[in-house]
Structure 1
Amino acid sequence: MAEEASSEPQWLTEKWLEPKLRVYFKNESLKLEKLEIRPAVAKGENYASVMNRVEVEFSTKDSLEKSTITFLAKSTFSDKDPASDLLSDYGIYTREMDMYEQILPYLADLVHEELGDSRKLFAGTVSVDREKNCIIFEDLSLEHYKVASRLEKLDLEHTHLLLERLATFHAAAAVLAERRPGIFERNYDRGFFNKHTRGYEPIMQNLLQALSRSLELNPDLKQRYQDKINRLINNVMDYGEKSTSGDPHDFITLCHGDLWTTNVMFQYDEQGHPNNVILIDFQFSVWNSPAIDLHYLFSTSIQENLRWKRQPELVQFYYYKLKDSLKKLNYTGQIPSLFDFQQQFQNRAFYAVFSSLIFEPCMLYTGKEKASIEQGLSGSESGLRFRNSVYEAQHIQDKLPLVLPFLDQLGLLDEM
C-alpha cells in the first residue's frame, strides 16, 4: 500500500529542473519560463510518496513559440515525517530509482523486440535524482491514460487486460534474471514481509486491533471471528514472512509488490474499451512468487463477483499468458504446470489476509480523518479515530460478512 498528497518539495524549483529538462530534450538552449506545481493524487490514493504534477513552459533558440508540457514528480517525505524512516528501512526509494534506471528499460526492450508488442508497459523517465530521491516521469494523462476507480474496482475486461500485461512483465523479468544473473540479488528482497525489517508491524497490528473493535458492531461476527483476529494481531508478521518465504519448486520472478488500482493506468479506444494498461509505482517490487501479486490484486482491486467466484479461472487466464510469454522469450527454466501453479497460488494465500483485512479498508477510505502512514502508527486521538473510522465505514461493515468467512474457510484465520 503504497501518504496523502503533501505540499510541494521546497527544492523543486526552476533552477533545479531546468538542467534536467535540457538533458531530456537534448537542447542546451532550453530556458524554463514558468513552473507550476500541484498535487497529483487525491486523498486515499497514495501512502508511500509525494506525487506532484509539474507544468512547465519553456523556450528554445530554435523555436519561435514557447512550449508547455506536464510531468509527474515523485519524491520522498521530508525527514521529519514519521513515514520517512519506516519506508527507508524497506529500501523503497533506492529500489524504484534502480528500477527506472536499470530494470524497466531492459524489460521494455524485451517486450517490444522479442514479443513484438509495441504497447507501453511503463511510464517513460525524464530524470532520476538520487540526492533528492526524486523521479520525474512523463505524464501519461497526456496520452489519455487514467487510473480506474479504487471504489468501483475493475470489471472482467479491465482485469483480463491487466493480467495479460502483468504476465508479460513477470515473464520478461524472469528472462532478464536468466540473462543477467544476480541482477535482482540486491535490495529486491524487501517486500511488506521480509527478514530485514518489520517496520509495518505496528501499523498492521493497530489496524487489526481497530478491526477487532469494529466487530462489536456485529454480534455474530464478533462471536465467530474476534478471537481469531485477536490472535492474528501478534502473528501477522510471522505468517506473512512464512507466506513469502522461498520454495525451491516455485516459479519465482520480479513481482510488482503493490499491485492495486492506483498503481496501474488504463488507455481506452474510441468505444470506451481498455486497450492498454501500464504499471506504475515500483517501490515495493520484490523477487518472489507472482502469486503474491495475484492475491494482492484480487483482494484489493477487482469487483466482488470476480473476487469471490472466479479466482481459479483468473489464475488460469494469467497462467496461460505467462506460459506463452515465457516460451516466446526462450525462457530456459522450469515452467510449472497449471496444477502446480494453482498450488503455488494456494500456498501463498495468507497474502490475501493482510491485503483484505488491513490494506483494502485503508484503500477504500473516504472518511474525514487524515489518511496517512503516521495515522496508522500514532497512538493519538486522531490516529485512533482514523483507524476506527476505517472499519466502522458502512461499506466495510457490509463487506466483512463476505471476506471473513471466505478467509476463514481456507484456514487462513487459524494458527499457521
Structure 2
Amino acid sequence: MPEPIVNEFHVAPIFLTRDYIEQKLRAYVKDAKLQLTELQVTPGTANGENFVSVMTRITMKYRGKDLVNQKATFLVKTTFADKDPVAHLLEPYGIYVREMDMYEEILPKLSAIIKQDLHDPRKLFAGTMNVDRERTSIIFEDMSLEKYFVADRIKQLDREHAEMTLEKLALFHATSKVLSERQPGIFKDKYERCFFNKHTRGYQPMMENLIKALEISLRDDEELYPRYGEKLKRVAEHIMEYCERVMEPKKDDFLTLCHGDLWTTNIMFHNNDEGRPDNVIFIDFQFSVWNSPAIDLQYFFWTSLQEDLCHTEMVQFYHTKLVHALKNLNFKGHIPSLFEFQQQFQARSFYAIFAGLAFLACMMHVGKEELSIQRAISPLKEDEAVRVSLYKTKIMRQKIKRFLPIFDRMGLLDDM
C-alpha cells in the first residue's frame, strides 16, 4: 500500500498519494505523459474549521509532453462520514453526495451556458479537477491564488458587495432554470433536501435548542423578556413545522436551483486594481435544493447584510438582474413580475427566524469554546450554557434587540 503523504503539520488522507495525484492531474490536463516532479501538501483550513470534512492544499510542479515545467495548486475536500459523530443526523440530508453531484454535473453545465450563451468569462465556481465518489472527495481550484477572498462574517456585507452577490446569484438561479428547461428532470429527486424537507427532521434538536437558548439568554432582560419570552418558547416548539411549510412550493411559484446555504463564508470575492469587487463565486453546495429562490434571499439577507440595507430594495435589485439574465438566455417560461416575486419573498418570511435567530448566533461565534453540531444538539447542561453564551455577546444582543420587534410586527413570533 502506498504511504500517505506527510509533512510536519498535516497527514493527508491515506489515498492521497503521489501516484493518485499524478493520475488525476493527467486526466484533468489531458496529458497521459505528464510527470509529477514535486509535491507539497499542507492543511487547507485550520483545525476546527470543518466538522464534516477535511481540506487539504496540494501544490505541485509537473512536466507535460511539451517538456515545459509548470506549477499548480488545488484544494482537496474529503468527507469522512464514518468518523463524523453526527453522521446519523446529516446522512438523510444527502450532503455527502450532493456537493459531488454539483461539482461533477451541474456546475460545469451552468458555467458552460453562461460562457456560451452570455459570453460571460467570469467564473461562477472553482473549477473541478476531479470528483472521487468512492472516497467522497473533490479536488478543485484554489481560488485564493487568483486573489479571491472571503468577506468578514462579523462586519457582513456593504451595498457594493451585496449587490455584486445578488447579481451573480440571479445569474445562478436563471441559468439553473434554463438548464431545467433544456434538460427536464435534471434536478428531480436529488435536490429536494435542504435544512427543512418532508423526509427528515435531523436538524430539529439543533433548531429547538438554539431558540430555547435565545429565550434563556433573555431572562435577565427586563425589556425584551416580558415581550418575547413566551413567544420564543412557542417558536421553538414549531420551528421545524413552520420552516417546512416555507419550503413547500406554492402553485405558480417560480422555482430554481438554490444554493441553500448562502452566507458570507460561502461567498468569495475578487477585487479589481482599484480594490473594488469585480466578481464573486460561491462555494459549499452541500444543501443545494430545487425551490423558491426567495429562500436564498431570506437566508442571505438575515445572515450577511449590514443593517442599513433595505431588504425590499435588495429584492428589487435582484429581480431586475434575474429578469435580465432570463431574457438574455431566451427562457421560454413565465418570468415573475416584481409584484409576484415580492409576494413569493414575503411568503418565505419565516425563514428569517431560522436564519436570523438560530443560525446567525452560530455564525457570529468568536469564543474559545469549540462550537459543533454535536454540541448544538446535546442535552447536557454545560452544552446548553455554551449555546446560551452565543446570544450573550454584544453583537448578538444588538441584533436580537433589532430583529425581535421586526419579526413580531410581521407576525412571525405568533402561532401560524
Fold shared per TM-score above 0.5 = yes
Instruction: Choose which of 179, 182, 185 in structure 2 pairs with 1:179.
Output: 182
Higher relative contact order (CA 8 A, sep 6+): 1
Q: Which amino acid aligns with 2:221?
A: N
1:38 aligns with 2:65: no
Q: How does 1:267-416 map to 2 (within 5 A)?
A: 267-306=270-309, 310-380=310-380, 383-416=383-416
1:54 CA displacement: 2.4
The alpha-carbon distance between structure 1 residues 283 and 316, as it changes in their structure 2 partners (threshold 3 A), is: same
The runs of 5 or more residues in structure 2 that have no matched partner are: 1-9
Paired residues of 1:44 and 1:364 also in contact (CA < 8 A): no
1:222 CA displacement: 1.1
The alpha-carbon distance between structure 1 residues 82 and 311, as it changes in their structure 2 partners (threshold 3 A), is: same
Matched residue, 1:19: 23
Q: Which amino acid aligns with 1:371?
A: L
Matched residue, 1:10: 14
The alpha-carbon distance between structure 1 residues 47 and 339, as it changes in their structure 2 partners (threshold 3 A), is: farther
1:70 CA displacement: 1.7
Query: Helix, strand or coil for the counterpart of 2:150?
Result: coil
The alpha-carbon distance between structure 1 residues 284 and 35, as it changes in their structure 2 partners (threshold 3 A), is: same
1:364 CA displacement: 1.0
Alignment length, in residue pairs? 407
- TM-score under structure 1 normalisation? 0.93
Q: How does 1:157-172 map to 2 (within 5 A)?
A: 157-172=160-175
Paired residues of 1:77 and 1:83 also in contact (CA < 8 A): no
Paired residues of 1:369 and 1:382 also in contact (CA < 8 A): no
Give the distance between the partners of 1:401 and 1:223, measured in 2 at CA.
13
Q: Which amino acid aligns with 1:196?
A: H
The alpha-carbon distance between structure 1 residues 10 and 218, as it changes in their structure 2 partners (threshold 3 A), is: farther
Q: Sequence identity of aligned pairs in percent?
A: 52
Which moves more between the two structures, 26-35 or 105-114? 26-35
Give the distance between the partners of 2:11 and 2:255, measured in 1 at CA.
39
Query: Helix, strand or coil for the counterpart of 1:392?
Result: coil
Give the distance between the partners of 1:12 and 1:86, measured in 2 at CA.
28
1:56 aligns with 2:60: yes
The runs of 5 or more residues in structure 1 that have no matched partner are: 1-5
1:249 CA displacement: 1.5
1:29 CA displacement: 3.4
1:118 CA displacement: 1.4
Give the distance between the partners of 2:87 and 2:401, measured in 1 at CA.
36
Matched residue, 1:3: none
The alpha-carbon distance between structure 1 residues 178 and 133, as it changes in their structure 2 partners (threshold 3 A), is: same
Q: Cα deviation per residue 1:42-68 (whole Å; 9 max; x = unaligned)?
A: 578655533232223444565364x44
The alpha-carbon distance between structure 1 residues 110 and 407, as it changes in their structure 2 partners (threshold 3 A), is: same
1:374 CA displacement: 1.6
1:277 CA displacement: 0.5
Q: Which amino acid aligns with 1:137?
A: F
1:83 CA displacement: 2.7
Matched residue, 2:198: 195
Matched residue, 1:29: 33
Which moves more between the two structures, 93-102 or 190-199? 93-102
Paired residues of 1:31 and 1:60 also in contact (CA < 8 A): yes
Query: Helix, strand or coil for the counterpart of 1:237?
Result: helix
Paired residues of 1:55 and 1:69 also in contact (CA < 8 A): yes
Matched residue, 1:215: 218
Give the distance between the partners of 1:64 and 1:175, measured in 2 at CA.
41
Q: Which amino acid aligns with 1:356?
A: G
Paired residues of 2:155 and 2:306 also in contact (CA < 8 A): yes
Instruction: Choose which of 231, 235, 243 in structure 2 pairs with 1:232.
Output: 235
Instruction: Choose which of 91, 95, 102 in structure 1 pairs with 2:94.
Output: 91
Give the distance between the partners of 1:190 and 1:220, measured in 2 at CA.
39
1:333 CA displacement: 1.2
Q: Which amino acid aligns with 2:192?
A: D
Instruction: Choose which of 69, 72, 79 in structure 2 pairs with 1:69.
Output: 72
Give the distance between the partners of 1:277 and 1:369, measured in 2 at CA.
32
1:130 aligns with 2:130: no
Give the distance between the partners of 1:162 and 1:146, measured in 2 at CA.
13
Give the distance between the partners of 2:220 and 2:300, measured in 1 at CA.
28
Paired residues of 2:51 and 2:84 also in contact (CA < 8 A): no
Which moves more between the two structures, 237-246 or 202-211? 202-211
1:17 CA displacement: 2.3
Instruction: Choose which of 245, 248, 254 in structure 2 pairs with 1:245.
Output: 248
Give the distance between the partners of 1:44 and 1:315, measured in 2 at CA.
35
The alpha-carbon distance between structure 1 residues 106 and 64, as it changes in their structure 2 partners (threshold 3 A), is: closer
Matched residue, 1:108: 111
Paired residues of 1:369 and 1:385 also in contact (CA < 8 A): no
1:378 CA displacement: 2.3
Which moves more between the two structures, 115-124 or 173-182? 115-124
Give the distance between the partners of 1:270 and 1:399, measured in 2 at CA.
34
